[in-house]
């Protein structure tokens, strides 16, 4: 009787021990915990917040995949307990702010990546910004990878931007800026001054010509801006015919191809060179009436500085960019490569995510692929309605066949 009882007790302990081991390895609560005091701060600071209506805070630990979501109402402060780790923290919601004594409700968002949470207790602050609207032209598709020839050689020049009217009214493309970021999504630096919360730092700017009503874009219609507006099939049978593009990117003072039948984009600042792996953000913007190319550059150029660390040595660096106020921007997209993405180079108010064609640098299968917005329905005229939530991660299909190849 005693031996039977002893065996039963030993078996029970073994089962309990195994269960405890399984719980320790799988459950985040078994890990060391940190009490996090999180403060959400609206930027720019001159916005007078009257009410934090609702805010949703999502935490994702990058090593384990552990996620948790907290809902806030009427407050911008959160106290929570999390397993120690490195997190991406995303914030979305709405606030009410006062503007000239008028109360206005606005959507807000914020994102901070690679947040290390450890120790007994920590205090963190995350900036949140008002989201840009989408009542203008948007970037539907970016084909930046180029193609390959039947012999396997790389072929470039057939890249393009597809810009679409996702509204129910006729819009005009005249004067629209197409902007490439000064900073790269795969190379995070501590740039000074840090003005990302209120402006987009442009490394290259081109502009659609016209007098204001020259280039109408009907609801659901699109325009194509080609790197080289020629029939690329004549040189590469696996490419496309871009000779009927709406506009072409033409770089003066270089050996560039000119199609006289296609209007040239106006070069405003530097030369736009499309990277075949992405690595940059692109944005559409409209300058206020009366702003010229010259006044834009003279009034908004600035010098940024940073320290480049290489081989253990530090090299002071600087560069020239043009700051584009976020309120001018109608749409933005961050592009990168999955295994080398480091940060967003736009304010989360413009884009809370990023998209890509490939998962690793140098992927030879990237050629002939694009990123394209998801279709969420049809309008009354049967035109596609495109997804536009200012989050490229969820708005875009990545690594898809470019639409002009169909």
> What residue has token string 């309008």?
379
pLDDT of 10 reads 37
Question: pLDDT class for 2, splitting at 50, 70, 90?
Answer: very low
The residue among 89, 106, 130 that closes a domain is 130
- Give the range of the structural domain holding residue 354, as residue numbers without chain letter: 137-405
**Are 178 and 88 contained in the same domain?**
no
pLDDT in the model for residue 200: 97
- Averaged pLDDT, 52-69: 95
As a whole number of angstroms, the distance between CA 36 and CA 257 comes to 57
List 154's β-bridge partners, or say none.
148
What gap in Å lies between CA 215 and CA 194, rounded to an integer? 36
Within a 10 A sphere around the Cβ of 63, how many other Cβ atoms? Answer: 8
pLDDT band at 292 (very low <50, low <70, confident <90, very high): very high
Tell me, what CATH number does 85's domain have?
Answer: 2.60.40.1120
In a domain, 196, yes or no: yes
Backbone angles phi, psi at 282, to 5 degrees: -125, 145
Residue at which a domain ends, from 130, 155, 188: 130
Q: What would the mean pLDDT of 268-281 be, rounded to a whole number?
A: 96
- Omega within 30 of 0 (cis) for the link into 44: yes
Query: Residue 100: its pLDDT value, please?
Result: 67
Do 71 and 154 share a domain, yes or no? Answer: no
In a domain, 44, yes or no: yes
Beta-bridge mates of residue 331: 284
User: Quick one: pLDDT at residue 15?
Assistant: 37
Sign of CA dihedral 325, 386, 392, 53: positive
Q: Tell whether the model's pLDDT for residue 120 goes beyond 70.
A: yes
pLDDT tens-place string over residues 24-47: 334 445 679 999 999 999 887 778
Q: How many residues are present in the chain?
A: 406
Q: Is residue 109 part of a domain?
A: yes
Map residue 66 onto helix, strand or coil. coil
Instruction: Look at residue 14 and tell me if it is in a domain.
Output: no
Residues 173 and 111 in one domain: no
Q: What was the pLDDT predicted at 133?
A: 55
pLDDT for 109: 85
Cα distance between residue 218 and residue 220, in whole Å: 6
Task: Write the pLDDT tens digit of every residue in 364-402.
Answer: 899 999 999 999 887 767 888 899 989 999 999 999 999
The residue among 53 and 106 whose pLDDT is bigger is 53
Output the pLDDT for position 5: 38
Contacting residues for 24 by C-beta, under 8 A, at least 6 apart: 30
3-state DSSP assignment of residue 359: coil
Average pLDDT, the chain: 89
Residue 132's pLDDT band (boundaries 50, 70, 90)?
low
377 and 338 within one domain: yes
In the chain the first and final C-alpha atoms are separated, in Å, by 80
How many of the other CB atoms lie within 10 Å of CB of 156? Answer: 17
Q: Is residue 22 part of a domain?
A: no
- Token duo for residue 37: 């005091």
Question: Looking at the structure, do residues 113 and 151 belong to the same domain, yes or no?
Answer: no
Looking at the structure, tell me whether residues 120 and 152 fall in a common domain: no
In a domain, 5, yes or no: no
Are residues 158 and 94 part of one domain?
A: no
Q: What is the CA radius of gyration of the chain?
A: 25
Of the three residues 130, 148, 169, the one that is the final residue of a domain is 130
User: What is the total count of domains within the chain?
Assistant: 2
**For residue range 143-172, what is the model confidence (pLDDT) as tens digits?**
999 999 999 999 999 999 999 999 889 999
Q: Are residues 179 and 323 in the same domain?
A: yes
Cα torsion at 79, 195, 209, 264 (round to 10°)? -100
pLDDT at 73 over 90: yes
| Residues 143 and 54 grouped into a single domain | no
Task: Let me know if residue 295 belongs to a domain.
Answer: yes
Task: Kindly indicate the confidence band of residue 258, based on its pLDDT and cuts at 50, 70 and 90.
Answer: very high
Residues 251, 272 within the same domain: yes
DSSP H helical ranges for 354-404: 392-395
Is residue 163 domain-shared with residue 74, that is, in the same domain?
Answer: no
Under a CB-based contact definition with an 8 Å cutoff, are residues 37 and 74 in contact? Answer: no
pLDDT of residue 106: 79
Q: Indicate the pLDDT class of residue 406, thresholds 50, 70 and 90.
A: confident
Q: Which of 326, 277, 320, 324 is nearest to 302 (CA)?
A: 320
pLDDT tens digits, one per residue of 309-323: 988 899 999 999 999
In the prediction, which pLDDT does 358 show?
A: 93
pLDDT in tens, 195-244: 998 999 999 999 999 999 999 999 999 999 999 999 999 999 999 999 99
Same domain for 220 and 289, yes or no, is yes
Mean pLDDT calculated for residue range 136-141: 96
Q: What b/e string do you get for 364-383 counting C-beta neighbours within 10 Å, with b at 16 or more?
A: eebbbbbbbbeeeeeeeeeb
- Please say whether the beta carbons of 308 and 187 come within 8 A: no
Confirm if 72 and 54 have CB atoms less than 8 A apart. Answer: yes
Nearest-angstrom CA–CA distance, 150 and 203: 34
Q: Tell me what pLDDT residue 124 has.
A: 96
- Res. 134 pLDDT band, cuts 50 70 90: low
Q: Cα–Cα distance between 66 and 59 in angstroms, integer?
A: 8
Overall average pLDDT of the 265-283 stretch: 96
Please, which pLDDT band fits residue 260 given cuts at 50, 70 and 90? very high
43 Cβ neighbours under 8 A, 6+ residues apart:
127, 128, 129, 197, 198
Distance CA 262, CA 109 (A): 40
46 part of a folded domain: yes
């Amino acid at each position: 009787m005693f031996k039977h009882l002893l065996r039963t007790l030993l078996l029970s302990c073994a089962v309990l021990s195994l269960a405890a081991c399984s719980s320790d390895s799988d459950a985040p609560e078994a890990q060391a915990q940190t009490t996090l005091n999180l403060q959400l701060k609206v930027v720019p600071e001159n916005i007078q917040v009257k009410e934090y209506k609702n805010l949703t805070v999502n935490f994702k630990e990058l090593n384990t995949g552990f996620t948790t979501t907290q809902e806030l109402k009427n407050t911008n402060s959160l106290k929570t307990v999390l397993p120690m780790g490195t997190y991406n923290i995303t914030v979305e919601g709405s606030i009410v702010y006062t503007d000239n004594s008028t109360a206005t409700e606005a959507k807000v968002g914020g994102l901070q990546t690679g947040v290390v949470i450890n120790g007994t207790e920590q205090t963190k602050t995350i900036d949140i910004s008002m989201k840009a609207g989408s009542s203008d032209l948007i970037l539907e598709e970016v084909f930046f990878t180029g193609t390959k020839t039947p012999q396997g050689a790389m072929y470039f020049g057939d890249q393009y931007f597809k810009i679409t009217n996702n509204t129910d009214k006729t819009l005009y493309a005249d004067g629209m800026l197409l902007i490439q970021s000064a900073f790269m999504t795969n190379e995070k630096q501590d740039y000074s001054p840090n003005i990302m919360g209120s402006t987009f730092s442009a490394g290259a700017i081109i502009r659609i010509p016209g007098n204001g009503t020259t280039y109408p874009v009907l609801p659901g219609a699109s325009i194509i801006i080609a790197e080289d507006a020629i029939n690329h099939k004549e040189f590469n049978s696996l490419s496309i015919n871009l000779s009927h593009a709406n506009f072409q990117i033409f770089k003066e003072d270089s050996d560039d191809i000119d199609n006289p039948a296609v209007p040239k984009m106006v070069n405003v600042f530097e030369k736009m060179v499309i990277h075949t792996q992405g690595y940059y953000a692109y944005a559409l913007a409209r300058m206020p009436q009366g702003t010229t190319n010259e006044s834009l550059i003279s009034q908004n150029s600035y010098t940024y500085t940073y320290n480049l660390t290489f081989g253990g040595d530090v090299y002071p660096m600087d560069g020239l960019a043009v700051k584009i106020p976020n309120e001018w921007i109608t749409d933005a997209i961050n592009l990168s490569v999955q295994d080398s993405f480091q940060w967003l180079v736009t304010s989360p108010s413009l884009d809370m995510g990023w998209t890509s064609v490939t998962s690793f640098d140098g992927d030879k299968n990237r050629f002939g692929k694009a990123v394209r917005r998801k279709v969420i329905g049809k309008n009354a005229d049967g035109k596609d309605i495109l997804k536009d939530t200012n989050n490229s991660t969820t708005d875009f299909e990545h690594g898809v066949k470019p639409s002009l190849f169909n």
